[in-house]
Amino acid sequence: KDAQAYLESTRSALNVQFDERAKQAGDDSDKWHAEAVRRWGASVGATEGEPITDWKAFVVSRNTTPPPVSNTALLQEFYAHDCWQLLVVCVLMSRVSSWEVKDRVVSAFFEAYPTPSAVVAGDVTSDALFAILKPLGLFPFRFKSLMEITRTFLSKPRLHVDLGDNKVYGLGAFGVENYRVFCRGDLGGSFTDTTIKGYVTKALKKKKMKTRL
Question: Domain range spanning residue 109?
Answer: 2-205
pTM over 0.95, yes/no: no
List the CATH number of the domain containing 17. Answer: 1.10.340.30
Give Cα 113 to chain centroid, integer Å. Answer: 14
* Within a domain: 211: no
* Within a domain: 210: no
* Within a domain: 106: yes
Integer-rounded Cα Rg, in Å, for the chain is: 17
Query: Cα–Cα distance between 16 and 185 in angstroms, integer?
Result: 18
* Within a domain: 14: yes
Q: Express each pLDDT in 57-71 by its tens digit.
A: 999 999 999 998 988
Q: What is the DSSP letter of 184?
A: T
- What integer pLDDT is reported at residue 1 of this predicted model? 67
Cβ neighbours of residue 161 under 8 Å, at least 6 residues apart?
87, 167, 168, 171, 175, 176, 179
* Within a domain: 169: yes
Helices (H), 55-138: 55-60, 83-93, 99-112, 116-119, 126-133
Cβ neighbours of residue 3 under 8 Å, at least 6 residues apart?
73
Closest to 177 (Cα-Cα) out of 156, 148, 200: 200
**Amino acid, single-letter form, for residue 77:** E
Query: Cα–Cα distance between 121 and 113 in angstroms, integer?
Result: 10
Tens-digit pLDDT string for the chain (213 aa): 688 899 999 999 999 999 999 999 999 999 999 999 999 999 999 766 678 999 999 999 999 999 989 888 899 999 999 999 999 999 999 999 899 999 999 999 999 999 999 999 887 888 999 999 999 999 999 999 999 999 999 999 999 999 999 999 999 999 999 999 999 999 999 999 999 999 999 999 888 877 665
* Within a domain: 64: yes
Query: Cα–Cα distance between 98 and 103 in angstroms, integer?
Result: 9
* Within a domain: 213: no
**Amino acid, single-letter form, for residue 192:** T
- What integer pLDDT is reported at residue 212 of this predicted model? 65
Closest to 81 (Cα-Cα) out of 156, 178, 7: 7
- What integer pLDDT is reported at residue 15 of this predicted model? 92
Domain count, the chain: 1
- What integer pLDDT is reported at residue 187 of this predicted model? 95
Count the alpha carbons within 13 Å of 179 in the hemisphere toward its beta carbon: 25
List Cβ<8 Å contacts ≥24 apart for 165-169.
Answer: 168/87, 169/144, 169/145
* Within a domain: 58: yes
